[in-house]
Amino acid sequence: MLRRTQGVIRPAFARSLFTRTPVPRTPIRTGLYSTVFVLSAGLFAIYYLDARSAIHRYVFTPLLRHTLDAETGHKVAVQVLKSGLGPRDPVEDDARLKSELWGQEISNPVGLAAGFDKNGEAIDGLFNLGFSWVEIGSVTPKPQPGNPRPRVFHLPDDSAFINRYGFPSEGHASVLSRLRARIPRFFDDENGSAAFRPGAMLAVNLGKNKESSVESIDDFVAGVRTFGPHSDVLVVNVSSPNTPGLRGLQNRELLETLLSGVTQARDQLPSPRKPKLVLKIAPDLTETQLIEIAAVIENTSIDGVIVSNTTTQRPSDLVHPNKSETGGLSGAPLKQYSLAALRTLRKNLPARIPLIGCGGISTGADALEYAKSGATLVQVYTGFGYDGVGACRRIKDQLVDELEKEGLTWGDVVQKAVSELSLSPRARDIDEKLKADADPSLQQLIAEAEELKSLLDQFGEPPA
Ligand SMILES: Cc1cc2nc3c(=O)[nH]c(=O)nc-3n(C[C@H](O)[C@H](O)[C@H](O)COP(=O)(O)O)c2cc1C
Ligand SMILES: *[C@@H]1O[C@H](CO)[C@@H](O)[C@H](O)[C@H]1NC(C)=O
Ligand SMILES: *[C@@H]1O[C@H](CO)[C@@H](O)[C@H](O)[C@H]1NC(C)=O
Ligand SMILES: *[C@@H]1O[C@H](CO)[C@@H](O)[C@H](O)[C@H]1NC(C)=O
Ligand SMILES: *[C@@H]1O[C@H](CO)[C@@H](O)[C@H](O)[C@H]1NC(C)=O
Ligand SMILES: CC(=O)N[C@H]1CO[C@H](CO)[C@@H](O)[C@@H]1O
């Protein structure tokens, strides 16, 4: 059995390394494949254990992509990282990459986005690759299977993925038991990071079961109660394309109810260390919708926003034959939409609320572009899927080069952008002060004008 798999693998390596003819799509069973993947660790020990090694980018990752369908390749990658035999980023993060989030220091600004480790199986394997933030999930309260396969499509010509997973999840109980099993036996710093690593954060992305009603916030509240004590950050999405629009008053009220419900549940957690709460939004929102979201966020104790999830848009320059599959598009073509949404939100939120950039990041230059647009941290998914386990290390190295050229640190870039681009508290204060100073009849007039404006806005919006 072993000999046969090795027989399949070796020529495949040779081909993809030296002649670049496409690797034939051999139907290898997943189990066999993982065995070979792990065995090859022995053969390539030196390269393999170092996440920087080109072997991951040019051999293992393409091989996974070519030999297996998209979803099986993903599963194998999670299993290898789970096994503890995954490679490690051996280099300490450069001081220029140091970042600060909510007053806490993190060693670098590159995180892994939700959806890769949906069930929290490979958390430590992922931290070992050098990510400073690992986000597991989305996790739904009850287990659910998600949509029928195929539900992930690789568009290599466009450096993109399309997915319509539909949130398969093993459910709260199963994921919680994995998080509990990670607690070190002699851990007594009840206030320490849930990542159990210095300079890193563990985030849990909370999902809703398919059959839960759209308006219900119970699934999210249950998620806060279940995962609050075991995470540094909880992520709540408002990014479903069905309810993106806070169209009209009703949806705004929905968002207010959701946000105040989850923040209340968080504040009531008995643990001394309370997780931060961040929203994750879609890139497909209009400017008006983003402004409304910003206003609601500012009125609650939400700690930050991830911008963004995948897009339902399809830019006209996509070339891959599967470009019209239904689902969310991620990777390079998403970047323009995410960056635009990030800039709009930055302009409408005060500097105290950090933004986390996500969408189409695969190089240091991409990450820096996000920082210059006002992101404090970035996340990667598709870039990691294409480049493999060394992606994080490579992005960090490129980022250090870029920063060195400009003679700046990540912290400098973020601080400058955030202070220049955020909603200025003065503008808001002056506005409020004018209203407060106005005489009562003028105040009445202002109130009526605002009411009229919101009515007109509602008429202006197409029906939800
Ligand atoms: C296959 C796949 C599955 C995903 N699953 C989730 C998920 O469960 N929850 C979530 O909030 N985002 C999910 N995402 C979105 C990513 O977290 C990220 O926001 C998006 O892919 C944009 O980043 P990228 O361009 O670097 O991939 C998924 C993305 C992909 C490609
Ligand atoms: C954790 O934080 C709380 C409140 O800040 C403090 O009272 C407590 O002593 C801290 N515990 C430890 C172990 O540091
Ligand atoms: C702020 O929150 C309060 C109560 O939670 C609500 O009554 C008010 O309408 C909100 N204001 C805005 C601007 O969202
Ligand atoms: C498009 O997706 C289907 C389903 O996964 C797959 O069988 C097919 O090979 C893909 N097409 C291309 C050109 O990759
Ligand atoms: C992200 O967007 C996709 C479509 O682009 C949607 O199907 C999915 O529900 C969104 N993700 C979350 C976590 O809501
Ligand atoms: C994964 C998940 O639960 N996605 C949810 C995101 O939020 C919208 C509503 O705000 C839900 O409809 C989605 O199911």
Mean pLDDT over 80-86 rounds to: 83
Q: Give the distance (Å) from ligand 3 centre to CA of residue 299.
A: 6
* DSSP, residue by residue, 25-76: -----HHHHHHHHHHHHHHTHHHHTBTT-HHIIIIIHHHHHHHS-HHHHHHH
Share of the chain above pLDDT 70, in %: 73
Least confident stretch, 7-16, 157-166, 235-244, 352-361: 7-16
- Name the residue ranges covered by the structural domains of the chain: 94-432
Question: Which atom of ligand 6 is closest in space to residue 207's alpha carbon?
Answer: 3
Which helix (DSSP H) or strand (DSSP E) does residue 302 occupy?
none
Q: What is the pLDDT of residue 34?
A: 44
Distance CA 171, CA 176 (A): 9
Ligand closest in space to the Cα of 299 = 3
CATH of 94-432, one of 3.20.20.140, 1.10.3300.10, 2.60.40.2470, 3.20.20.70: 3.20.20.70
Average pLDDT across the chain, whole number = 83
How confident is the model over 133-156, as pLDDT tens digits? 999 999 999 999 999 999 999 999
239 lines ligand 5 (CB under 6 A): yes
Mean pLDDT over 214-221 rounds to: 91
189 lines ligand 2 (CB under 6 A): yes
Distance CA 166, CA 148 (A): 9
The yes-or-no verdict on residue 60 having pLDDT over 90 is no
How sure is the predictor about 91, in pLDDT bands with cuts at 50, 70 and 90?
confident
How confident is the model over 377-424, as pLDDT tens digits? 999 999 999 888 889 999 999 999 999 999 999 999 999 999 999 998
Distance CA 404, CA 407 (A): 5
- Among 72, 110, 161, 330, the mutation site with the greatest number of ligand 1 atoms within 8 A of its Cβ is 330
Ligand closest in space to the Cα of 192 = 2
Question: Which atom of ligand 4 is closest in space to residue 69's alpha carbon?
Answer: 5
Mean pLDDT over 203-230 rounds to: 94
Biggest alpha carbon distance in the chain? 88
169: which strand partners? 144
Mean pLDDT over 104-121 rounds to: 97
Q: What is the pLDDT of residue 455?
A: 65
Share of the chain above pLDDT 90, in %: 61
187: left (phi over 0), alpha (psi -120 to 50) or beta: beta
- Among 252, 253, 254, 256, the mutation site with the greatest number of ligand 3 atoms within 8 A of its Cβ is 256
pTM for the structure as a whole: 0.84
The yes-or-no verdict on residue 12 having pLDDT over 80 is no
The yes-or-no verdict on residue 51 having pLDDT over 80 is no
